[in-house]
């Protein structure tokens, strides 16, 4: 996610109404490396904003995804997690503690994409998740 001010400008240009609750969701996501779900964000922000609805959280995240400020992650069945890091990277998920961490692939070529199998596809997003047990849980 770029700066708060630039994100606000992008949202305004899309005609998105900026309420205190929506601004709280945007601030929550800035620099967040925990890959939270909409449910987690809602639960944490309701302490400060008791009138915050789950739909406000979800719709704000959807709008942020539309303007490429967050990406949704399909790591679990049933719900999404969100990541403000929209640059290409891989995720590791610990099945024991639930931690999701980033692996930045910049300048690396040790993950091989089979070119023949993807020939003809117009790829606009790559989602790779390694699932296992983190070093803290082992």
Q: What is the pLDDT of residues 51-89, one digit of tens each?
A: 999 999 999 999 999 999 999 998 877 789 999 998 888
What is the SS3 assignment for 76-118? CCCCCEEECCCCCEEEEEECCCCCEEEEECCCCCCCCCCHHHH
Model pTM? 0.84
Q: Is residue 137 part of a domain?
A: no
User: Which CATH number is 61's domain given?
Assistant: 1.10.10.10
Q: How far apart are CA 128 and CA 122, in angstroms?
A: 17
Maximal CA-CA distance, the chain: 53
**What per-residue confidence (pLDDT) applies to 88?**
81
Distance of CA 82 to the CA centre of its chain: 2
Looking at the fold, whether 76 and 9 belong to one and the same domain comes out as: yes
Tell me what the pLDDT averaged over the chain comes to: 89
- Residue where the block lists tokens 């998740």: 129
**What per-residue confidence (pLDDT) applies to 27?**
96
Q: Bigger pLDDT: 3 or 41?
A: 41
Looking at the fold, whether 98 and 70 belong to one and the same domain comes out as: no
- Is the pLDDT at 47 greater than 90, yes or no? yes
Instruction: Count structural domains, the chain.
Output: 2
Q: 137 in helix, strand or coil?
A: coil
């Amino acid at each position: 996610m770029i700066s708060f001010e630039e994100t606000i400008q992008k949202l305004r240009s899309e005609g998105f109404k900026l309420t205190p609750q929506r601004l709280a969701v945007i601030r929550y996501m800035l620099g967040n490396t925990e890959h939270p779900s909409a449910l987690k964000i809602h639960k944490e922000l309701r302490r400060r904003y008791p009138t915050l609805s789950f739909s406000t959280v979800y719709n704000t995240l959807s709008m942020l995804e539309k303007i490429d400020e967050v990406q949704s992650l399909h790591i679990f069945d049933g719900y999404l997690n969100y990541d403000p890091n929209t640059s290409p990277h891989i995720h590791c998920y610990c099945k024991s503690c639930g931690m999701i961490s980033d692996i930045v692939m910049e300048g690396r070529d040790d993950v091989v994409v089979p070119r023949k199998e993807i020939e003809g596809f117009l790829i606009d997003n790559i989602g790779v998740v390694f699932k296992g047990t983190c070093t803290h849980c082992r």
